[in-house]
């Protein structure tokens, strides 16, 4: 049956607009005016955007249904974290799948991708605040302001990441720098209590338990993920050799998913091992420091994405026969 379906053609970098180019990738590009059908069909062929799919949804369902999460406020941060773990791979999958419908669609798709990553960052902060703060920092002034700062960082992350797409054509290095900073900054802030706990803290109150090895795995994979995102290795060393399999963005997604898996395991273990101590000594988990900030983040991110998308939706368009599949096809000016 599948043999009767004609899969879309793939192109070389010289056949698509520059805004679609990736460092070190020569071929495997999809048509810059792909239809929605073409985008979906491309899931069944090898392109340079083939990468692993979703995870964590089953875990979220397990926690909600089997542990009766909404009846126990102590599990709310875990539910929020697992929800963000489902959203960011899904948003990334959709962005990569439909980003070749047009230049305009590409930008808007990745706006949602960046918003989902910043939402995941806040989900991490919420679950860290609940379960991983070292004993000696629990209920400290930093702990009490931690979620508020994380919400602010999430907004800044989304604003910078979305803005980074606009100078991408004229200043690709500056655009890449902005994007790296927008993701690295909230990650580093969120992990201050974890870095202190596993690397710096000595003596009593350091929460040195069996979970720390899982935290080491997660931190290692997180930095490897950042390295792959920033360097475009290995394809920069051998352009054309990793167009379909083994390029940095595929490895980036694999490391990100594995890192999130170990992060989830560490959160579950800390939540279980430390529950009695945290209930007595840490900040009580309420709507205001768990579900509330998550909902606020969703609203603010959607507003930011809308504001960045508006000029693209209302902006001027120009005809481009080179990439058009029909006389009425057009593209955004001047990003060809």
Please enumerate, by residue number, every residue annotated as part of a binding site for Zn(2+). Answer: 96, 249, 253
Binding annotation: 96, 249, 253
**How buried is residue 57: exposed, middle or buried, by Cβ count under 10 Å (0-12/13-18/19+)?**
middle
Give the torsion through C-alpha atoms of 142, 147, 151, 157, to 10 deg.
60
**How buried is residue 17: exposed, middle or buried, by Cβ count under 10 Å (0-12/13-18/19+)?**
buried
> Across-strand partners of 12?
27
The answer to whether 153 and 189 have CB atoms below 8 angstroms apart is yes
Angle, helices 248-273/76-98, rounded to nearest 10 degrees: 170
DSSP-assigned states of every residue in 66-91: HTTGGG-GGGHHHHHHHHHHHHHHHH
- E-strand stretches of the chain: 11-12, 27-29, 317-319, 330-332
The SS3 assignment for 24 reads coil
């Amino acid at each position: 049956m599948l043999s009767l379906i004609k899969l879309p053609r793939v192109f070389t970098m010289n056949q698509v607009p520059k805004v679609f180019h990736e460092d070190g990738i020569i071929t495997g590009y999809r048509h810059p005016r792909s239809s929605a059908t073409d985008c979906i069909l491309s899931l069944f062929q090898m392109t340079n955007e083939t990468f692993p799919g979703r995870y964590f949804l089953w875990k979220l369902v397990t926690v909600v249904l089997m542990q009766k999460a909404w009846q126990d406020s102590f599990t709310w941060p875990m539910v929020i974290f697992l929800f963000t773990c489902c959203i960011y791979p899904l948003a990334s999958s959709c962005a990569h799948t439909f980003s070749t419908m047009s230049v305009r669609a590409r930008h808007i798709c990745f706006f949602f991708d960046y918003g989902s990553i910043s939402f995941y960052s806040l989900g991490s902060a919420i679950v860290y605040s609940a379960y991983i703060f070292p004993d000696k920092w629990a209920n400290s002034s930093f702990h009490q302001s931690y979620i508020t700062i994380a919400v602010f960082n999430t907004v800044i992350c989304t604003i910078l990441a979305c803005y980074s797409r606009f100078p991408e054509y004229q200043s690709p290095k500056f655009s890449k720098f902005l994007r790296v900073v927008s993701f690295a900054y909230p990650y580093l802030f969120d992990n201050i209590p974890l870095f202190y706990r596993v690397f710096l803290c000595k003596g009593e109150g350091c929460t040195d338990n069996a979970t720390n090895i899982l935290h080491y795995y997660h931190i290692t994979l997180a930095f490897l993920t950042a390295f792959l995102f920033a360097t475009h290795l290995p394809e920069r060393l051998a352009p054309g050799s990793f167009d379909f399999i083994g390029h940095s963005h595929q490895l980036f997604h694999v490391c990100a998913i594995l890192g999130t898996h170990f992060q989830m395991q560490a959160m579950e273990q800390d939540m279980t091992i430390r529950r009695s101590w945290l209930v007595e000594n840490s900040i009580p988990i309420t709507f205001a420091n768990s579900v509330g900030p998550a909902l606020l983040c969703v609203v603010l991110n959607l507003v930011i994405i809308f504001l960045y998308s508006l000029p693209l939706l209302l902006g001027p368009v120009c005809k481009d026969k080179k990439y058009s599949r029909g006389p009425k096809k057009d593209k955004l000016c001047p990003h060809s």
